[in-house]
Amino acid sequence: MPHVSRLLVHPVKSLDPHPVDAVDINNGALRHDREYAIVDGNREFVNGKREPAIHRIRSEYDHETRTLRVREQGDDEWESFRMDADRGELNAWLSGVFDYPVSVVRDASGGMPDDTTADGPTVIAWETVAAVADWFDDIGPEEMLRRLRPNVVVEAGEAFWEDRLYADRESVREFTIGDVEVRGHNPCQRCVVPSRDPDTGEETDGFRERFVTKREETLPAWAAHDWFDHHFRVMVNTSIPESEWGKVVAVGDEVELGDERSV
């Protein structure tokens, strides 16, 4: 039976993931996922889509003390900031990295996902991560995982298994993680982030072109092909109905396919 092998939350949008053994559902998302975000003077997100320098920031987060530790790639010394008491100092440190004023904002009600409709955890099979990494000579599975930035990694036994977790454009696919009901919406349309080295922000030459070619060649028969107006898509966007909020998902939970239902 496919089962959860890793759970990853991203406390600060676009910074490093934080692995957890179990986490509850908070307003349809994994608690603490994208709870904080970096914004510029116009209140626009400073994220990997528009700011390659963000890849150079290493981060660790302690949920109990709400403390963020950060350093620039290559530095040995960490800086620690309490997310409430030291927010001004954190803003100054980040502004120094980007060389323009930024600040950290918080939304504890359910985080700040890019997709506000399919705003649940993203899901991918570990075998998919390994298969995609194999398309590139110098990228291993762990690095590819950091490039793709999923929330839920499933040990499924076959690559692209997660393409079973969505239906056509008029439907969603129901499935469960443990006892939590989830709805799979679509294969995730990727931005520039997976094409960049997650440590430096340097773009990998020809990444998108090779990805698109190989994804088209290996697209499984069980995928809903009408989503693939282009093939720069992998991973599944989901939503979690309100009836499931407050329940817990955990590493080891089995993932079981359900029925299609109309949107």
Last residue within a domain, chosen from 83, 106, 129:
106
Check pLDDT > 90 for residue 263: no
pLDDT tens track for 188-197: 999 999 999 9
- Quote the CA–CA distance of 154 and 188 in Å, as a whole number: 16
Collect all residues with Cβ–Cβ distance below 8 Å to 247 and sequence separation of at least 6.
24, 25, 178, 179, 180
Measure the CA–CA gap between 54 and 52, rounded to whole angstroms. 5
Cα–Cα distances in angstroms (integers) from residue 144 to residues 43, 141, 225, 250, 261, in the given order: 30, 5, 24, 23, 32
Claim to verify: residue 8 and residue 93 sit in the same structural domain: no
Could you read off the pLDDT of 161-212 as tens digits, one per residue?
A: 999 999 999 999 999 999 999 999 999 999 999 999 999 999 999 999 999 9
- On whether both 101 and 125 belong to a single domain, the answer is no
pLDDT digits (tens, 9 = 90+) for 233-247: 999 999 999 999 999
CA 95 centroid distance within chain: 24
Answer whether residue 115 shows pLDDT above 90: no
Pairing mode, strands 152-155 and 123-125:
parallel
H or E element in which residue 143 lies: helix 141-148
Same-domain check for residues 102 and 140: no
71 with 174, same domain? Answer: no
Domain, as residue range, for 94: 32-106
In this structure, the answer to whether residues 15 and 39 fall within a common structural domain is no
CA dist., res. 214 & res. 232, Å (int): 10
Cα separation of 110 and 210, whole Å? Answer: 35
pLDDT at 114 over 90: no
Query: Which pLDDT score, from 0 to 100, does residue 218 have?
Result: 98
Could you tell me if 72 and 128 lie in one domain?
Answer: no
Same domain, 19 and 45: no
> How many structural domains does the chain have?
2
For residues 140, 111, 59, 200, the Cα torsion angle rounded to the nearest 10 degrees is: 50
236 and 185 within one domain: yes
Rounded to the nearest 10 degrees, how much is the dihedral formed by the CA atoms of 30, 67, 21, 199? 90
What is the pTM for the complete model shown? Answer: 0.95
Q: Burial-class residue 34 by CB neighbours within 10 Å (0-12, 13-18, 19+).
A: buried
**Dihedrals φ, ψ of 71, to 5°?**
-160, 160
CA distance 196 to 177: 31
Least confident of 84-88, 112-116, 170-174: 112-116
Angle between helices 126-133 and 207-218 (to 10 degrees): 120
On whether both 249 and 131 belong to a single domain, the answer is yes
Of the three residues 43, 78, 106, the one that is the final residue of a domain is 106
